[in-house]
Amino acid sequence: MSGHRGDPDSASLRAIVDVLGHGAGEALMLGHVHPDADVLGTLLALGMALEQAGWTITLGGPHPVPAPLRFLPGAERYQAWTSAPRMYPVVVMTDCPNPRRTEGVLDGARRPEGHLINIDHHPDNHRYGTVNWIDVRAAATGEMVYDLLHALSLKITADIALNLFTAIHTDTGSFRYSNTTPRTLRIAADLVEAGARPDVVSDRLYQQRAVDALPRLGEVLGRIRMEEAGQVAWLALPRGAVSDAFAAAEDLVTYPRSIAGVRVAILLREEDGGIVKVSLRAKGDLAVNEIARRFGGGGHDKAAGCSIPGTLEGVTKAVLAAVREALRGAAP
């Protein structure tokens, strides 16, 4: 296939092949909190491919699969736990830079003498695995799992292709973000050739709104505010304003980001326990992951996030102050 990188020149990739490529075993594909298509698509694809080679695979994490992603092949097998049911000799995590995002499930799942495989493209990954394959050149972790399947000589079936295509599709903002490369599109084409259906992915992700979703979306978008001469747009939502499923399905931060002239878009959602979840998106040369790091978060230059204790009003003021400071520092 044309998207394949060929010779696996990464020592970390070879180390993963050493763990997964020499005889069947048992592994847990472990997801992070509020699993998105980036993590679910890669875990499901890798798990299904390993099962073809005789592996016994369990899939799970701290939160269930959100309704819009239940179309992913194998999603019905993904379990939600407050703690791991037992320990596994191999644990695989994808697209998860911080192990704390498993809410403690990882602690009860990994054997002290076992393998923890960490596959990610986030530059701020904590490198918490026994094997860490971090490739910041990759536009999506799905690209890396694609390479891994080739390195393991595992067949990419139509179901596996659909999972990987969905992961790459979402990790690149439907191929709209600046991280999309020619190689990304070649891999996507290979996955379509293997049986992925772009029309199915787009339909399930963007064309399955509930009857009341548009009126609710209109109410939510009426909360968007702007400042810094239109360079900053933010949306602050109090606890209970929208459901997790609605927020995930609508990808709400994309709306303030879509406004002409906006350089930084912010979504702030008040959650239970006095926590505000913050999503940051950038256009242009500003790196929002540096802003997120100030509050204990991280991510990519153009897409980052963090969770901050405090009130919605207080966190909004603090984040806006940090964004203003970053904008002034980045001013020509």
Which residues 6+ apart lie within 8 Å of 211 measured at CB?
none
Q: What are the tens digits of pLDDT across the range 118-154?
A: 999 998 899 999 999 999 999 999 999 999 999 999 9
CA atoms within 13 Å, Cβ hemisphere of 50: 29
Last residue of a domain, one of 171, 190, 206: 206
- Helices 182-193 and 158-171: crossing angle in degrees, nearest 10, is 150
State pTM to two decimals: 0.87
| Residue 251 confidence class, pLDDT cut points 50, 70, 90 | confident
Across 194-198, 208-212, 258-262, least confident range: 208-212
Q: What is the CATH number of the domain that holds 275?
A: 3.10.310.30
Radius of gyration, CA atoms only, the chain: 20
pLDDT digits (tens, 9 = 90+) for 292-305: 999 999 888 889 99
Among 206, 236, 259, which residue terminates a domain?
A: 206
Averaged pLDDT for residues 17-37:
94
At 243 the pLDDT is 84
Residues 69 and 86 in one domain: yes
Give yes or no: residues 79 and 153 share one domain. Answer: yes
User: Based on the domain organization, do 162 and 251 belong to the same domain?
Assistant: no
Do both 218 and 189 map to the same domain? no
User: What is the rounded average pLDDT of the residues 98-102?
Assistant: 93
**Beta pairing, strands 298-299 & 264-271:** unpaired
DSSP secondary structure letter of residue 87: -
Q: Which domain holds residue 81?
A: 11-206
Name the burial class of residue 128, with classes exposed (0-12), middle (13-18) and buried (19+) by CB atoms within 10 angstroms of its CB.
Answer: middle
| Model confidence at 260: pLDDT above 60 | yes
The mean of the pLDDT values for the chain is: 92
Task: Count Cβ neighbours within 10 Å for each residue of 136-165 and write b for 16 or more, e otherwise.
Answer: eebbbbbbbbbbbbbbbebebbebbbbbbb
243 and 116 in a single domain? The answer is no
Q: At 235, give phi and psi (nearest 5°).
A: -135, 115
Would you say residue 7 has pLDDT above 60?
A: no
Q: Exposure of 327 by Cβ count < 10 A (0-12 exposed, 13-18 middle, 19+ buried)?
A: middle
Verify that 236 and 189 share a domain, yes or no.
no
> Residue 238 has what pLDDT?
95
What pLDDT is recorded for position 331?
57
